[in-house]
Amino acid sequence: MSTATGTPKPRIDGALKLTGQADYTADISLEGQLYGYPVGSTIARGELTGLELETALAMPGVVDIYHAGNFDSSLRHSPNSFAEENTVSEPRLPFEDSTIHYHGQYIALVVADTLEHARAAAGEVIPWYSNDRPAVIDSLSALPTDDTGLPGVLQEGDSNSRGDAAAAFDDAEVTHDAFYSIATETHSAMELHASTAVWAGDRLTVYESTQGVVFQKNALAEIFSMPSEKVNVISHFIGSGFGGKLFMWPHAVMTAVAARRLGKPVKTVVPRQLVFTSAGSRPASLQRIRIGARKDGTLTSIRHDASNETAFVGMHDDTVITATPSMYACDNVAVTNRVAEVNHGMPCPMRAPGEAPGLFALETAMDELAWQLDIDPLELRRRNFTDKDPASDLPWSSNYLKECWDNAAERFGWENRTAEIGSMREGDEVIGYGMATQSWEAMRQHCSARATFLADGGMQIACGTQDIGTGTYTIVAQTASELTGIPIDDIDVRLGDAALPSGPLSGGSFATATVLPAVKAAIEAAVRKLAERVNGDGQAFEGASADDITLKDRSLVQGDRKVAVTALLDELELGQISDVASTAPGDEQDRFSFRSFGAVFVEVRWDPGISRLRVARIVSTIDIGRAINPMTARNQVEGGLVMGLGMAMFEQTEFDHNGYLYNSNLADYIVPVHADIPPIEVELLDHPDYHLNVFGARGVGEIGLTGIAAAISNAVYHATGKRIRDLPITPERLL
C-alpha cells in the first residue's frame, strides 16, 4: 500500500494507542511521585475568608495543602503574549488572592501519597466565604446593552466595515433582522487535563496534556523567572484538546510549585468536574444579524453585531464575527464584537472559535432570507458568491466553494427537496433538508525541525510540536518517507517535547501547513551537510559542488554518480548525520487571502407526536487544498461535524442562579453518542494551494464544525416551520 502523501494511511501510532503503550500524561509515573488534588470554590463570587484544614491534614497519607495563605509569592505573571509564545489561559496565578471570581476557582491543592488519599482529604477541606454581592451569571439579563441590543464592551479591533451598511439596510428592498444565541459549551476532551512536575536542581520538567509544549515551556519560564532552557514540557500523546489545552491552566503552576516545595515529583489530574469549571469553555454568545437584499437575492447590506461572555479573571474575545466580511459579495458590511464579564471560569478558544458560532448566525440568517425571497437557499448563496475576498480586497489563494456546493448538493440529492414546509414525509416522520456554507481561515506559522539520517538506513524527524490525536505523527512520517525514499516504517517521528526544535501549537488548523515545510527544509539541510562531507578529494563525489548533489531514493546523486546514504555514512564512520532548519511564512499573506470553504447538507427527521428530532444524514464537501492524508483529514471533518451536531442539539454548560455549574459531568453535559450520529459522507476536493506552502495543504482541524449547526437549524425549519435561533435545539424548543 502506498504511504505517499495524498494517499490514505492509518495512524502510525494507532497500535501503540490500542495496546495501551502510548504514554498519555496521566499514565506517567515517576519514582517517589506524590499526587495533587485540587479543591475548587463552591461559590461563584465573593471572598474566601478562611480554610479549615486540620481534619484534611490529619487524613492518611496527606503531605501538605497549598492555598493563598502559604503559596509561593515569588511567582510572577506570564506576559501572556501570543507573539512571544507564552500565552496562558487564565492570567491570574493560582491562589493569587482570596477573591473568588467563579465556581471551581482553585482554593487549595492537597498533596498526598496516593490519588485516593489526596482526593479523600480534598473532600475534608472546609472553606469559609463571604459573598455579599450576587454573581453575574448571564450577560444579557445582568448587563446594560448598547444600541445594538447587545451587552458588553466593544472590541474595536474586531470592527470591520466597508460601504455604509446602515444606510444600505434602510434602503433595502427586503430586510431581515434577528438575534441568535448559543449556550456556553465545554470542550470535554476524553483525556482529562493532567500535569506531572519534577525538579532536578534548578531544572523543571513538566509532563502535560497540552496542544502547545513550547508555549507552556515559555509561560512556565516566565512565571518561575527561569531561563526557558531550564524548563521542558513533554506531551507525547494527547487524548484531544479542542482548544481547551492550547494554553496552560493554573493546575500546572500549582503542581510545579508543590513539586519544588516537596522536592518530589507531583502529579495532578484535574477531575472532570473541575475541567468543566476551571479549564475553559466556548463562551455563550449573543448575535444580531441584519441583512438587506434586493428581491433577486443580491445582498446589499450585512450587519453582524455580537457579544461573547468572558470571565472577570481574564479577557477572551471569541471573534464571533470574524468570517462574515469574507463570506459573500456585498458592498456594505459592518461587524462588531463585544465581551461581557460574568462570574464564570475563563473561556478560551474552542474548535473553530469565531467561525462556528458566527456562521451559525449568518448561515441561519441566509436561510431565513431565502425563505423570505422564495429563493432556493443554495441558489441564494450562489448568487452572492465572491471571487475575491471582499474583506481584504485580495484574491483568494484558491477557492472552490462553487464546486463544494455542487458536489455536496448532488451527493445529498438536494434537487429532491420540495420547498414547502413539512411537505416531505415518511410514515410518522416529517423530513427536513437544510444546508450551509462552511469556512475556516488558513494560516501558517514559523517552525523548526531536525532531520537525522541514521546509519541503519532509517531516519528520525524531530519537531517541538505535538500530535493531539489528529495524525501529525503520521503525516510527518509520510512526508519524510516520500522525500527520502525511506520506507515509512523506518521513519522515527519525535514530537511532543519542548526540548526539540521549536514547533507550533496544535491549533488554528495550522500545524500541517506549518510543520511540513520545516520537515522538508530539515531533510534538505541534512542532505546538504552530508554532501559537503563527501565531495572532497578521493571521496565519492569528488569535485562536485554540494549544490549539485541531491537526494534520490535513499542515495545521494550527482550526474551519473549515485551512492547510498548508508554507504556514505559508513565511509565517514558516522552513526548519523543531522541538521536543523527553520521555515516561516513569506509575504503570501499580503498577496492572497487564505480561506478554506465547504458546503454541508443535512437531513433531519421530526416526529411531531413525541417531539423527537434526529439528524438522519450529513453530507459535506470541503476544499482544504491538498489532503496530505485523506484518511486522517476526513476523520477531522467527521469529528467536526459530530461536534457541530452536539452544538446544534445537545451541548450546553448550565449554571444555576448563583453561578454554580451543575452539569459538570458527561452524564448531564450531553454530547452526541453513536446512536445520535447518522451516516456522514465527507468528500475532500483535491486542489493543492501552493501559495501557502509547497505541499499545497491548508489544514483541516476546524472547518468541519462550521456551518453544520446552521444547516441543522435550517433543516429543522424546513421540517417543522419553527425557526430556532437559540442553541441547542432541545425538544422543548420544538414543542
Least separation in angstroms between residue 510's CB and ligand MOS is 8
| Structure-block grid coordinates of residue 289 | 444579524
Strand-pairing partners, residue 431, are 424, 605
Q: Give the other-Cβ count within 10 Å of 730's Cβ.
A: 17
Which whole-number Å values give the CA distances from 113 to 46, 59, 264, 265, in the listed order? 32, 11, 11, 11
Query: Residue 193 or 725: which CB sits closer to ligand MOS?
Result: 193
Helix, strand, or coil here: 148? Answer: coil
244 with 187: CB under 8 angstroms? yes
- For cell 476536493, the residue is 685
Q: Tell me which amino acid residue 565 is.
A: V
Query: Residue 218 or 281: which CB sits closer to ligand MOS?
Result: 281
- Rule CB under 6 A: say whether 243 interacts with ligand MOS: yes
Query: What phi and psi, each to the nearest 5 degrees, are found at residue 435?
Result: -145, 165
Residue 719 parent element (H or E) = helix 708-720
Which whole-number Å values give the CA distances from 186 to 268, 650, 728, in the listed order? 20, 12, 13
* Nearest to 460, CA basis, from 519, 420, 516: 519
Query: Residue 241 or 292: which CB sits closer to ligand MOS?
Result: 241
- Rule CB under 6 A: say whether 647 interacts with ligand MOS: no
Least separation in angstroms between residue 701's CB and ligand MOS is 6
Order of strands, edge to edge, in the sheet holding 429-441? 424-426, 429-441, 595-607, 612-623, 680-684
Q: What is the footprint of ligand MOS within residues 330-349 (CB under 6 A)?
A: 349
Query: Residue 246 or 431: which CB sits closer to ligand MOS?
Result: 246
Least separation in angstroms between residue 615's CB and ligand MOS is 23
| Structure-block grid coordinates of residue 472 | 501529525
Binding residue (CB under 6 A) for ligand MOS from 507, 517, 640, 704: 507
Query: Residue 39 or 516: which CB sits closer to ligand MOS?
Result: 516
Query: Residue 36 or 241: which CB sits closer to ligand MOS?
Result: 241
What is the separation, in whole angstroms, between the first and last Cα of the chain? 53
The total number of residues shown for the chain amounts to 735
Pairing label, strands 266-269, 285-293 = unpaired
Strand-pairing partners, residue 269, are 194
**Which range touches ligand MOS (CB under 6 A), out of 172-180, 235-243, 332-340, 364-372?**
235-243
Least separation in angstroms between residue 598's CB and ligand MOS is 17
Task: Give the active site residue among 84, 116, 702, 732.
Answer: 702
Least separation in angstroms between residue 356's CB and ligand MOS is 9
- Rule CB under 6 A: say whether 246 interacts with ligand MOS: yes
Which whole-number Å values give the CA distances from 145 to 142, 169, 176, 183, 314, in the listed order? 10, 21, 21, 19, 21
**Which range touches ligand MOS (CB under 6 A), out of 240-248, 261-269, 417-425, 615-623?**
240-248
Query: Residue 347 or 696: which CB sits closer to ligand MOS?
Result: 347
Q: Is 702 a catalytic residue?
A: yes
Binding residue (CB under 6 A) for ligand MOS from 217, 290, 338, 351: 351
Query: What's the number of CA atoms in the CB half-sphere (13 Å) around residue 535?
Result: 19
Query: Residue 109 or 275: which CB sits closer to ligand MOS?
Result: 275
| Structure-block grid coordinates of residue 710 | 446552521
Site string for ligand MOS, 197-226 (x = CB under 6 A): --------------x---------------
Query: What phi and psi, each to the nearest 5 degrees, are found at residue 617?
Result: -165, 155
**Which range touches ligand MOS (CB under 6 A), out of 236-244, 248-256, 485-493, 705-713?**
236-244
Measured CA to CA, the distance from residue 574 to residue 194 in angstroms comes to 40
- Rule CB under 6 A: say whether 242 interacts with ligand MOS: yes
- Rule CB under 6 A: say whether 238 interacts with ligand MOS: no
- Rule CB under 6 A: say whether 639 interacts with ligand MOS: no
Alpha helices in 235-279 (DSSP H): 250-262, 272-278
Least separation in angstroms between residue 120's CB and ligand MOS is 34
Binding residue (CB under 6 A) for ligand MOS from 36, 212, 280, 508: 508
Helix, strand, or coil here: 355? Answer: helix
Query: Residue 165 or 246: which CB sits closer to ligand MOS?
Result: 246
519 with 449: CB under 8 angstroms? yes
Least separation in angstroms between residue 566's CB and ligand MOS is 40
Q: 3-state DSSP helix/strand/coil percent for the chain, to nearest 5?
A: 30, 30, 45
Measured CA to CA, the distance from residue 243 to residue 280 in angstroms comes to 8
- Rule CB under 6 A: say whether 325 interacts with ligand MOS: no
Query: Residue 35 or 510: which CB sits closer to ligand MOS?
Result: 510
Least separation in angstroms between residue 298's CB and ligand MOS is 34
Least separation in angstroms between residue 237's CB and ligand MOS is 16
Least separation in angstroms between residue 239's CB and ligand MOS is 14
- Active-site residues: which are they? 702
Instruction: Write out the residues near ligand MOS by the rule CB under 6 A.
Output: 211, 241-243, 246, 349-351, 353, 507-508
